[in-house]
Structure 1
């Protein structure tokens, strides 16, 4: 009988926890009631990119902007080139981020050498 009460108590406790959700993250980027999360992220990215300087380390960019929407890495003339794409402008409302809504940040040897469409096309 004592074991049965323990079982009933354990089931009750577990059942009461089954609907619990723990949210961990940066409150500045949580979704609003009106779904403007992408707008906040986009504005933050625009502000950050507008203050960039060549020579900025890739680690600093990743730390400040987080995971890029897209990334590429390749060798060109014996040098590793890394391109991170961060969303900075809105083109179409399809619920997806596309490269045309992003700014390319180009790194060689881990340092920022350029950004934007012209820099990306001139690789």
Structure 2
């Protein structure tokens, strides 16, 4: 009797372990469905993992982080410079997302080139 109960307990734990493994490894986070605190943390974690040698396109960022909180575009001829802002830190709990609460990601012709404070400076100087 005890042997049979232990078998069911171990079987239940094994099934639970498999389900947890599958959810952790294969369930994609949806930033649009997150509460704002979780979305901020998710954005911050993603942006902190970016490295200069990574070749990331705007579509990849949009797919992972969802729609940006703020976005600005400049273009001249074939060159398009776009900066998208994702909220990464709360400054004032007023329900309005401002640029100082966000981290900017600068894209030139759809390719990520800079992020952080340098992205804002580069965007402002584009086409001067």
TM range (shorter): 0.5 to 0.7
Once structures 1 and 2 are overlaid, which stretch shifts more, 53-62 or 82-91? 53-62
Say whether residues 1:109 and 2:109 are aligned partners.
yes
Q: Rg bigger for which structure?
A: 1
- Residue 110 of structure 1 deviates from its aligned partner by 0.8
1:40 is matched with 38
Q: 1:4-23, aligned counterparts within 5 Å?
A: none
Aligned residues: 92
Q: TM-score, normalised by structure 1?
A: 0.67
Q: What RMSD in Å do the two structures reach over aligned CA positions?
A: 2.2
User: Structure 1, unaligned stretches of length 5 or more?
Assistant: 1-25, 31-36
Match for residue 9 of structure 2? none
113-122 vs 100-109, which deviates more?
A: 113-122
Kindly report structure 1 stretches of 4+ aligned residues shifted beyond 4 Å: none
Query: Equivalents in 2 of 1:62, 1:91: separation in Å?
Result: 24
Where does structure 2 lack aligned partners over 5 or more consecutive residues? 1-29, 124-128
Instruction: State the SS of the aligned residue for 2:119.
Output: helix
CA contact (8 A) 1:85 1:99 kept: yes
Take 1:64 and 1:27, find their aligned partners in 2: how far apart are those partners?
8
- Using a 3 Å threshold, how does the CA distance of structure 1 residues 101 and 62 change in structure 2: closer, same or farther? same
| TM-score normalised by L of structure 2 | 0.64
